[in-house]
Amino acid sequence: MAAAECPSCGAMLEVGRKPKIGQTVRCFDCDTRLEIVWLDPVELDWPAEEYEMDYEEEEDW
């Protein structure tokens, strides 16, 4: 299980076994929406754009 640090509060967030760049995760601690911007190691950052829709991209096809 990969994990990455929340840039907002420093909590360690699990990002699943197969994280992808662009995948969005929500911090369980500060409730910030974050985007995976790098994979080795996994880094999280605030999304570059604010989307109107608030949908999750959790499906693993």
**Count of CB atoms within 10 A of residue 27's CB?**
18
Dihedral sign of CA atoms 52, 55, 58, 61 in order: negative
Nearer to Zn ion, 32 or 39 (CB): 32
Cis check for the bond before 7: say yes or no (omega within 30 of 0).
no
Nearer to Zn ion, 27 or 36 (CB): 27
Minimal distance, residue 6 CB to Zn ion, in Å: 3
Binding site for Zn ion (CB under 5 A): 6, 8-9, 11, 27, 29-30
Nearer to Zn ion, 7 or 39 (CB): 7
